[in-house]
Structure 1
Amino acid sequence: MSMTVHYRVSLSSNSATTGEGRLVDLSLEGCRIESTQPLPVNTYLSLRLIISPKEMPVLVDLAAVRWTRGTVCGIHFLSLQPLQTARLKTLLAGAAPQNPPNTPDKE
C-alpha cells in the first residue's frame, strides 16, 4: 500500500547532501520523489523524510534510485533501522484512508 504525500526530503550520497526534493508517494518499500536535479538510476542514497517541523525526520540509511522520469524518480528502501521502520509504519497507518463498510449491491 502506498499513499500520496507532500513532504520534504533531504537526499545524500557519499555522506554529502546532494539536494532536496519533494516526497510525492510513500510506502514501506520505497517512495517517489520530485528532486531539484535528476538522479541517475542505481544511485545509492540515504534519505531524511521531513514529515513535520515538530518531529524528527524519518531516516532511511540506504535507498536506491530504480527509475527516473525527468526530475521524478522511484526510490527503493534497502535499509532502515527498526525504530525508523516502526515510525514509517505508524505514519502510513495513520494516514491510510478508511475503507467504507461493505454494503450489499442493490438488486
Structure 2
Amino acid sequence: MARVSHLPGRAEHHWIWQAQAACRGVGADAFFHPEGEGRSDRAAREEAAKAVCAACPVLAQCLEHALRVAEPYGVWGGLTERERHSAVRSESAAA
C-alpha cells in the first residue's frame, strides 16, 4: 500500500500533471498485473506499458510521485515496482 502520509494532499497543483499523461484513457490493466499473471505475459504487459511511458510528456513527474509515495504496484514513470524498489535500494546504498 502506498504511504498515504506521503501523498501531497488535495491541492490540485500537485496532480495537474496527470491530465497530460500519455496513459490517460489507456486503462489500468495495461499498468497493473492481474491475479495469476504468468511471467511471460507480465513481461509483455510491462514492456507495452513502458512504451506508453516512453512517449509521455510527464514521465519525470510520474516517476517522482511513485518514488515519493512508494507506489507498491504497477508501472509508474516507466519503471516496474521491482525496478523502483531496486532504484531506491541503490540510492540508499550510495548515500
Give the TM-score normalised by the residue count of structure 2. Answer: 0.29
Q: Which has the larger radius of gyration?
A: 1
Richer in strand (by share): 1
Higher relative contact order (CA 8 A, sep 6+): 2
Richer in helix (by share): 2
